[in-house]
Structure 1
Amino acid sequence: MSAHFDRFLAEALTTDRETDGGLAKEELYGLYTSWCLINQSQPEPAEALWAALESHRIKPDNNTLAMSGPAALDYIVCSSPDLA
């Protein structure tokens, strides 16, 4: 797996919080694109993200992940502009 996805996993996702079922695929990819924007990096296609997650034994459509870090804030604000 590339260092690009390793950084995303380390900086934007956590399993240290209790969740109500983890993140949906749409949320995962939205968080990933927010992380890429913040890091001035070109996003890879969704399929590449799914493969990267699966290489860490994380199922994109059935996980216990929670958002973390600046990308989480960016994603939440961008997906719910009425909160800003």
Structure 2
Amino acid sequence: MDDPQFDQFLMEATTSDDASGVTLGPDPLYGLYTSWCYVTGTVRHAEETFWEGMRGRINPEPNGLRMKGPAAADYILASYPASV
């Protein structure tokens, strides 16, 4: 799928670190995408469309990707409930 939104997401919200052995699994990667859409005000694609768009852009697993930027902070804060 030729959608520049996916390239922009990968550029702004991920970094490649093959040497560390760390990788983003499917759920965190899609969650990071939804956070990126929220932070940037971008219309989010359905999950099926997202994975279709990622085909050819990243390796399924291990992909060597790590989170970065404001979308990473939003994802982390949204993923963990506040301590009471």
Q: Tell me, what secondary structure is at the counterpart of 1:71? A: helix
Q: Which runs of 5+ in 1 are unaligned?
A: none
Q: Distance in 1 between matches of 2:66 and 2:18?
A: 7
Q: CA-to-partner distance for each residue in 1:18-60, whole Å, 9 max, x for gaps?
A: 544401111011000000001112210112222222222x133
Query: Is 1:78 aligned to residue 71 of structure 2?
Result: no
Identity %: 41
Conservation of the 8 A alpha-carbon contact between 1:19 and 1:66:
no
Instruction: Give the equivalent residue in structure 1 for 2:12.
Output: 11
What is the aligned-residue RMSD (CA, Å)? 2.0
1:22-37 matched pairs, under 5 angstroms: 22-37=23-38
Where in structure 1 do 4 or more consecutive aligned residues deviate above 6 Å? none
Q: Tell me, what secondary structure is at the counterpart of 1:4? A: helix
Q: Distance in 2 between matches of 1:22 and 1:3?
A: 23
Amino acid across the alignment from 1:42:
V
Q: Distance in 2 between matches of 1:73 and 1:50?
A: 22
Instruction: Give the equivalent residue in structure 2 for 1:68.
Output: 68
Query: Is 1:44 aligned to residue 45 of structure 2?
Result: yes
Q: Distance in 1 between matches of 2:48 and 2:62?
A: 16
Q: TM-score, normalised by structure 1?
A: 0.82
